[in-house]
Every structure is written in C-alpha cells, then in structure tokens.
Structure 1
Amino acid sequence: MLLLLGACGPAPDPGSETRSESGQGAVTGTDVSSGRAGFAGLGASSQGYAHASPDTPLHFPDDHGPHPDFRIEWWYLTANLENADGEPLGIQWTLFRQAQQPRASDASAAIADLGIRSNAGPWAADQLWMAHMALSLGEHHRVAERFARGTGVPLPDAEQQAGVMARPFRAWLDDWRLESLSTHSGGDALDRLRLMAQAEDEKGPFGYQLELEAEGPLVRHGIRGFSQKSADGQGSMYYSQPFYRVSGEVWLNGERVAVVGRAWLDREWSSQLLSAGQTGWDWFSLHLDSGARLMAFRLRGGGANHDDYLSGSWITPAGEVTPLTADAFTLVPQAFANAAGHRVPVRWRLTLPEQNLELEIAARHANRWMNTSVPYWEGAVSVTDAASGAPRGQGYLEMTGYTKPR
C-alpha cells in the first residue's frame, strides 16, 4: 500500500469525518495523475527529511512505531473474510502520517516536543494524520475517512486524537484503533492484534471488530526491508505481516455478522517514495491456496527505459522471501471496467516462470472506488489458474492515478 497525504492540501478540522459509498458522498476529491512531483506529490523533493536506504536496518518492536524524521508513513491492513454462509466480504483499515516540515535536528525536535507537551493548543502539532476504513459485501461498498493533527511520537501522559505507540503497540485516530493483544515476551507485538472501527452514513452504521493472530513471521521486502520504487533509486522501508488468521464480526445494513478469514498488514515509510514522472500504481497482496503469499506492484513510469517499474516478493508458507525483480514476472491488464466514472483494469494476468505459475487475478466487484481526499480503487480479488480456471487464492488490489476520461 503506497498512498498518503501528498495531494490532500490542508487537513480539515480535527475530528472531522467524511464518508462515501460506491463513489457517492461528501468527499469528491481531485484525481492527481502526473507532474513534476509524481502521483499525489509523492515524487516531490524531500530535502531535510531522512531517506530510506538499503543500509537502514529494521529493529522490532521500535519500527512498529512512528518515524517522524521521514515525511510519510502508513499502517495498512486488508482482510478477505467470509460469513457463515461462505459469502465473501472485504475490509480495509489504514492510518497515514505526514510530517508538516522536516525536523531540522534532534535538538529542535526536542524543543518542538516540549512545546507540544506544554499544551500550546491543537495547532501546535508537527504531523497530519488521516485514516481510512472500508467494508465491502456484494454491491455494498462503504467508506469513511477521518483527519487529525498530532505529534510524531505520542507523549505517554497526554491524550492525543491520533498517533501510534510501539510499546505497547497501539495505532489510533479517535475510536478507530489497531492494538496489540500480545502478552508474552517471546513474540512480536504484531503477533496478535485487535482492530476496531465504525462509522455512519446516510445508509446507517457500519463497522467491524476483529482479532488477528499471525501464523508466520514478519516479512522484509526488497533489500533487507528497503523497497526500491524507481530506476532513479527512490524507495521506502517496507515490511509486512501477511500471515494473519482473522475472526470477529462486522455490522452492515442493520445486521451484525460473524466472520473469519485472512488478513495482511503492511508497514511502510519514506520521504520521497516515487520519481517525478510516475503517474500511479497497481499493487497486489495475495494469499495463495498453497500457503504461499505474493506481493507485487507495477508503478506506471519510472523504469529504466521510461517504461513501468515492477517489483515484488514471493513468500513461502514458512515466511522465506524471494525478491522479485522486473525480469522475474509479468503483470498485464486483461479487462477494464467503469468505477465511479474511472476506467480501471479489473482483470489481470500474472506470470511467474520460476514458480511455474500463470494466474488470472480478477476484482470481485468493479465498484470499489475510494472517493476519499486522494481517490483510488481498493478491493478484494479472486485468483485462478489462467489455463484451467481452478481456484488458486484470494487477496487485495489497490490502483491509483486512474483519471476520468475527458
């Protein structure tokens, strides 16, 4: 998941919430496709911020928390669920952080933290926070968005509207929260989580309360956790927990329904994610029936010969990772559909010669447009064998930068 606040402009008042369903609602947004700053401003200059690098080691549990020296960051979770009748549902929950300006030095950062600790008021904040939630069932696609201001590192003795703490792990904006349930010292803080979020629109309340338990290890993408995003070298620190089993309940259309399924959590931070000419991306997280997992993305632009930039990770059932470069797989759209007036690819062909796989990946529904401040498409997909049509798995797809036809 590679989205953040680069094109949002000023944040709304703290505590405000916007909602939409199937591309209709209070938030219309503006499609941002290309320009010198890349999609959503994520290719803009990052002078003064820290930079992601293959030489940056990851440390847990500290890296589950915020990185305020970097410009952008997110905690992103998707889940493929089903009810007692086997009917598929999908959920997304994401918390984004964006620094308002670089922290010039450790000393100035400490002074800023002291200013906030002195309770200088809600505008004395160095970070913008944004959260998205979505719940999908059949033709229903319910979406909500919230904003807040806050600090990069929450203060333990202060109530804050939004933030993330590494010890114990907790990520929240208002009453939307993702928090650790792990109590034993030998495991990771993300091994067991609880996710809670709810909202209300003109069709009534919707939401979910889920518990997640990891059945495999954390996974580092790219080079020891550095995921390159263009031939120019831009990239992010990126790791995942793709092995969650999920149980809990969702509420939608006046009903509360028990659900089970699988989930995938992504952690990513950067200061300049893209190169200036990259216009958007297509990102896949797949749970295969073999027990393997696959992360793959296509960034439109930014390749060595002005073509697309491809990367990914093949993850065995035991959590062993093989980085996938552009010559290790192909990812080609096969069919398009209209989503809230946008023409988006909803069926794909993914070929992995080394794994002897040729897969068809199809959106379960075309109407999964997220009509949020930075609009995008996000929804569940089914995975089948390209030759036989036999089921091979399921997952999630995110697509950005698809503008309305002129």
Structure 2
Amino acid sequence: MKIKLGLMLIALLLCGCDNRQPPPKGFAGLGEQAGAFTPVVPGRVFSFPADHGVHEGFRIEWWYVTANLKDAEGRDYGVQWTLFRSALNAAPQASGWRNQTIWLGHAAVTSSAVHHAAERYARGAVGQAGVQTTPFDAWIDDWRFATQASGADPLADMQLKASGPHFSYELRLTSTRPLVLQGDKGFSQKSEQGQASYYYSQPFFQASGHVEIDGQRYTVSGPAWLDREWSSQPLTANQTGWDWFSLHLDSGEHVMLYRMRHKEGAPYLTGTWIDAQGQAQTLHAGQISLEPLDTAVVAGRSMPVRWTIRIPGKRLDITTDALNPNAWMNLRIPYWEGPVHLSGSHSGNGYLEMTGY
C-alpha cells in the first residue's frame, strides 16, 4: 500500500498554518472530506511516464523506496527513501514562494544493531524539491531518486541516494520487469466506505551500491521495492492506523498486504499476490490471515514486531521477524518502519511499516 506517513502532513501543516482549523478527524485528520480536491474513482487509465510525475489537484502523493540488502559477509541492512508532496489547497499551484505545496523527505538505514533516520522539509516551486518526468528526477535538497536510463522506461536504471547525521547511502536500482497495478487496476481501496488511492509498484528492482553507518562503509546488494500512490481522502474518521508489508519471496513471487485498524470493528484487510512474471492478483480479507505474535517496547510503545501471515490459497504460511525491533522513525512524524525476515513455508525478506500505536 504505502498509505504512508506523509498523509499525516496534511493535518499537521493545516493546523500549523491556521489556528482556526477544527480538530482532526480520524487518524491524523485523514478522515477529513476531500473538499475541492480531485476524488479517486475506479477506472483510471494509467499513462507512463506521465504518472511517475506530479498529480496536481490531488491532496497527497509519494514516491517510496525500500531495499533489503546484504554485504559481502552476509550481514543484513535495510534502506528507506520517501518523498511526499502535500497540497494545502486544490487551486492551481502558483509560482515561487506563493506556491501552496509542501514537500517532505524521509530516509533511514537499519542494521541488526542500529537504526538511523533523517527528514527534510521544503516549499514547492523554489527549487528545493520536486519531481520531473523527462528525465525522471525526484529530489529534496541533495536526496535523489533519478533515472540513469536513456531508453523508453525511465525506471529501468535508477540512482537512489540520501544522507543523515550518522548514515548515507548511494544505490543503483535496475529492473527490466513490468510495473504492477495494485488493487483493481490501480484503484486501491482503503475502507468499506470507498476511500482509496491510485497505487502502483515496481517490486522487481535489484539494488547495488554502498551504505555508510557511523563512519563504516559497506558494499551491499539485494532486492528493492518502489511504491507510488496519490489520493485526496484515503482514510475514514474511524481508522486509527495501519500495518503494511512488502515481501520478496525467494521463490520469485512478491506479496503486498495492509491492515487498516479501526476504533470500532474489524480491520480492513487486503493485499496483492504478484507472481514471478509480474501478474498481480488481488487478495481479499477472507483469503488472508494476518496476526501479530510478539511485541517489543519501542520508544515507550508496545509494537508487534513479529507476525504470522497465512494465505492458504497460495500455500503461504510464514512468520516475519524484525531485523531490528527498535526501527523507530524518531522524526517529527514518528512511526515504526524496518526490514523483516521471512521463515516457514517460504523464505525471503521485506519491509514492515506500523503507524498509530
């Protein structure tokens, strides 16, 4: 999914800019009505490379990459890179400092011993941050997710880089595989009431490069995953947070799952099974069992860092374990996000994000 923390920026920025705003509704105010923003409806026809770029008229969107990496000694690392665009109003965006777009970047690295995260904020239309499609380039300050390809697919060969006070990374991401439309041909529903986003992924990236942690540099490689989403009202007032998984199975298949938790009632649960050729099948709640097994106290919160996932129709029965249970994103918008290992009927690795705890 990647309903993602950038969505919380809407409520936080609006409250910060205007003290007359009413109290938030639902999780981080994301149950607020979309107002004049463009609604997400079924039947959109995706167009690339245009849909890699900015979607004016929508309230929130993001470009999100995770990578599960190993060094030459077999030690595991995780990398996260996210760029969010948040529009403060639905009107056409003005130039220069009159622009009503806010950009936010999150980056992190994780090992079994440490987790480091950093963030960047920027205004739109003044060169601090943005996204262009030809050639594709998404940036905030000197953090970048940019094409190195000259062919028809701008995502075939990418550079990814970011840095913080205690870490940096620079990776090359390549893929010749197709993009995957999540949900119903890219219409990804988030509630029984119809809240949704437009959502596609590239789960077939292979990454190589280096990460630096506390002054030590490691040459690394492994699978990576891109998520792209945009929306205007993705949650309901009753939804309190989510648990989201992106999983690389060693069999060559991939799985995306998310559970939207509610103040009252059962969670909204769905996902996608992606076969080794890139064909996607939507998974509904009755086809999935997603349950927390063990918790850890992280930043004073009880977090479910070990889960069981069962998809009987695919003969999947696995346990996910966090590489580092203390993968807390201690930023202005805090949450848990880190790499996980898989064991059971299938081996592999992936990423887990948890919010609202």
- 1:313-358 per-residue CA deviation (whole Å, 9 max, x = no partner) reads 0000100000011111110111111111111101111110110111
Matched, 1:62 2:88: no
What SS does the corresponding residue of 2:150 show, helix, strand or coil?
coil
Contact 1:243–1:262 under 8 Å retained in 2:
yes
Matched, 1:9 2:23: no
Q: Which of 155, 177, 185 in structure 2 is aligned with 1:190?
A: 155
- 1:22-76 per-residue CA deviation (whole Å, 9 max, x = no partner) reads xxxxxxxxxxxxx862212221110100011112221111000011210010000
The within-5 A match list for 1:19-34 is none
The within-5 A match list for 1:46-85 is 46-85=34-73
- Report the equivalent of 1:318: 277
- Report the equivalent of 1:230: 191
Amino acid paired to 1:8: L
Q: Runs of 5+ in structure 1 lacking a partner?
A: 13-34, 104-108, 152-158
Q: Which of 90, 96, 116 in structure 1 is aligned with 2:84?
A: 96
- 1:275-333 per-residue CA deviation (whole Å, 9 max, x = no partner) reads 1100000000000010000000000028xx93110010000010000001111111011
Contact 1:11–1:148 under 8 Å retained in 2:
no
Q: Which of 293, 300, 306 in structure 1 is aligned with 2:265?
A: 306
Deviates more, 1:171-180 or 1:253-262: 253-262
- Report the equivalent of 1:20: none
Q: Which of 123, 140, 144 in structure 2 is aligned with 1:173?
A: 140
1-side partners of 2:178 and 2:65: how far apart?
16
Q: Which of 287, 293, 298 in structure 2 is aligned with 1:328?
A: 287
Contact 2:114–2:324 under 8 Å retained in 1:
no
Shift of 1:2: 1.5
1-side partners of 2:30 and 2:47: how far apart?
25
Shift of 1:259: 0.6
Matched, 1:398 2:345: no
Greater gyration radius: 1
Higher RCO (CA-CA < 8 Å; seq separation 6+): 1
- Report the equivalent of 2:75: 87
Matched, 1:279 2:240: yes
Contact 2:110–2:324 under 8 Å retained in 1:
no
Matched, 1:366 2:325: yes
What SS does the corresponding residue of 1:184 show, helix, strand or coil?
coil
- 1:146-204 per-residue CA deviation (whole Å, 9 max, x = no partner) reads 100104xxxxxxx610001112110000000100111123xx2112110111121xxxx
2-side partners of 1:327 and 1:341: how far apart?
34
Contact 2:14–2:88 under 8 Å retained in 1:
no
Shift of 1:94: 0.2
- Report the equivalent of 2:20: none
Runs of 4 or more above 6 Å deviation: none
Contact 2:10–2:88 under 8 Å retained in 1:
no
Sequence identity (%): 46
Amino acid paired to 1:358: D
- Report the equivalent of 1:219: 180
- 1:84-137 per-residue CA deviation (whole Å, 9 max, x = no partner) reads 10100011000001001112xxxxx2xx54xx1xx5xx3x11200000000111
Q: 1:11 to 1:230 in 2, by over 3 A?
A: closer
Contact 2:71–2:220 under 8 Å retained in 1:
yes
2-side partners of 1:306 and 1:55: how far apart?
29
- Report the equivalent of 1:22: none
What SS does the corresponding residue of 2:237 show, helix, strand or coil?
coil
Contact 1:169–1:179 under 8 Å retained in 2:
yes
2-side partners of 1:89 and 1:38: how far apart?
34
What SS does the corresponding residue of 1:361 show, helix, strand or coil?
strand
Q: Which of 338, 343, 352 in structure 2 is aligned with 1:379?
A: 338
Amino acid paired to 1:134: A
Aligned alpha-carbon RMSD (Å): 1.8
What SS does the corresponding residue of 1:9 show, helix, strand or coil?
helix
Shift of 1:11: 10
